Amino acid sequence: MLTAIWQQSTIKKELFLKGGGRMKVERLISIIMILLDKKRIGAQELAELFEVSPRTIYRDIDSINRAGIPIRSTSGVGGGFEIMEQYKLDKKVFSTVELSTLLLGLSSLPDTMHGAETQHALAKIKSFIPTEHAQAIELKTNQIKIDLSPWEGNLNTQPYLEMIKTALRKNEVISFDYTDQNGNQTARNVEPYQLVLKGNHWYLHGYCNQRNDFRLFKLTRLSNLQLPNNTFTPREHHPPQLNFSDNSATTQTEITLRIHYSVLDRILDYCTYEALSPDGDQHFILRLPFIENDYYYNILFSFGDKCECLAPPYVRKEIKRRIQKMANLYEQ
């Protein structure tokens, strides 16, 4: 393994000395990995993949050759570039289990993150798979499927994700209008630092120049996103706190619910089966941690008439008040 790592680090040094800057070196290494994976590929296809001209690809191939990796070119239909068969890279850097884990992780990324970078990474990893283990690794990788996309909902965040990824890569300020949970809209100018996927929702963590502090913005609340082409010098950044269990423990109260069996599968998203006790043939009694805010009340309302809050009295009273307020909209 040490020999393989040393050999590939040596190749990187040679490519850097003979090939050019960092971005070009990364492209050259990606081309090598693609050739190891696809065996043969044309200049035009490579040019489209890396968004450069065919002439640049020919120069890249020449740099790879001068770095000591022999690549030959064949013309005509089905022609292209390929690494000469007698040249071999040591593919034992990763074990079969490690390769399966890496492939599973990359293939489980949301569709919104499946850009060129992900495809290049997959090509690199697949190039390390020995032919005799390819089928076994594919079987292990397919044993687990992780799909983080929602069944339905707002799919319009994709353009904003691409714009924010560009801003992150270039250290560019972004501007947008933001609507808070009370419906108030404000104009924001933000230095982006991190995209966060939490509970099937995308968030942006960045430094807000209007608030002079780091803030977490939900992408579905953004509108009129712009890239004004203003760069910034990155500040010291601390990832946002995403686990609120410690803070919420002091504000939680326990409520008692009577649940109809028809919503059992949904209620189990918020509790374990052991927390339920039968109440007749069609209902369950559940004691559930509860925080008095719109989010938790809306969870209860999502069950409609299949869920009744039995205690405490003040939560039951507040639910009745909210239901009456909603009913008043239809009585006017």
- If you search the block for the tokens 């009456």, which residue do you land on? 324
Quickly state the pLDDT bin for 66 (edges 50, 70, 90).
confident
Q: Identify whether the C-beta of residue 309 lies closer than 8 Å to the C-beta of residue 285.
A: no
Quickly state the pLDDT bin for 36 (edges 50, 70, 90).
confident
Packed helices 43-50 and 54-66: angle between N→C axes, nearest 10 degrees: 100
Q: What mean pLDDT do residues 139-159 have?
A: 66
pLDDT above 80 for 132:
no
User: Tens digit of pLDDT for each residue in 246-262?
Assistant: 455 557 899 999 999 99
Locate 116 and state its tokens.
Answer: 């060129």
User: Tens digit of pLDDT for each residue in 153-181?
Assistant: 555 677 898 899 899 999 999 999 999 87
**If DSSP codes are grouped into helix, strand and coil, which group holds residue 72?**
strand
Q: What mean pLDDT do residues 84-93 have?
A: 58
Say which DSSP state 41 is in.
Answer: B
Q: Domain coordinates of the chain in residue numbers?
A: 2-83, 96-141, 158-226, 247-331
User: Tens digit of pLDDT for each residue in 226-247?
Assistant: 999 999 999 998 888 776 554 5
Packed helices 2-19 and 54-66: angle between N→C axes, nearest 10 degrees: 130
More reliable by pLDDT, 277 or 71:
277
Q: What mean pLDDT do residues 84-108 have?
A: 64
Q: Number of C-alpha atoms within 13 angstroms, CB side, residue 318?
A: 15
Among 119-123, 278-282, 290-294, which is the least confidently predicted range?
Answer: 119-123
Task: Give the Cα separation of 286 and 309 in Å (integer).
Answer: 10
Considering only CA atoms, which of 217, 178, 211 is closest in space to residue 198? 217
Task: Give the Cα separation of 203 and 222 in Å (integer).
Answer: 10
Considering only CA atoms, which of 87, 37, 46 is closest in space to residue 67? 87
Q: What is the mean pLDDT of the chain?
A: 80
pLDDT of residue 2: 33
Quickly state the pLDDT bin for 16 (edges 50, 70, 90).
very low
Say which DSSP state 133 is in.
Answer: G
C-alpha torsion sign, points 87, 92, 97, 101: negative
- Beta strands across the sheet bearing 222-226: 213-218, 201-208, 185-198, 174-179, 222-226
Considering only CA atoms, which of 177, 39, 195, 232 is closest in space to residue 115? 195
Q: What mean pLDDT do residues 281-302 have?
A: 92
Most confident of 4-18, 77-91, 203-217: 203-217
CB-based contacts of 50, cutoff 8 Å, min separation 6: 27, 30, 31, 56, 57, 116
Quickly state the pLDDT bin for 67 (edges 50, 70, 90).
confident
Q: What mean pLDDT do residues 207-232 have?
A: 93
- Options 3.40.50.2300, 1.10.10.10, 3.40.440.10, 1.10.287.610; CATH for 2-83 is 1.10.10.10
Q: Exposed/middle/buried for 181, CB within 10 Å: 0-12, 13-18, 19+?
A: exposed
Task: Give the Cα separation of 313 and 47 in Å (integer).
Answer: 68
pLDDT above 90 for 311:
yes
Quickly state the pLDDT bin for 103 (edges 50, 70, 90).
confident
pLDDT of residue 7: 45
Task: Give the Cα separation of 25 and 19 in Å (integer).
Answer: 6
- If you search the block for the tokens 């035009």, which residue do you land on? 44
User: Matching CATH topology for 2-83 and 158-226?
Assistant: no
pLDDT of residue 69: 78
Locate 291 and state its tokens.
Answer: 């925080």
Domain 158-226 has CATH 2.30.30: yes
Task: Give the Cα separation of 158 and 273 in Å (integer).
Answer: 37
Cis before 312? omega within 30:
yes
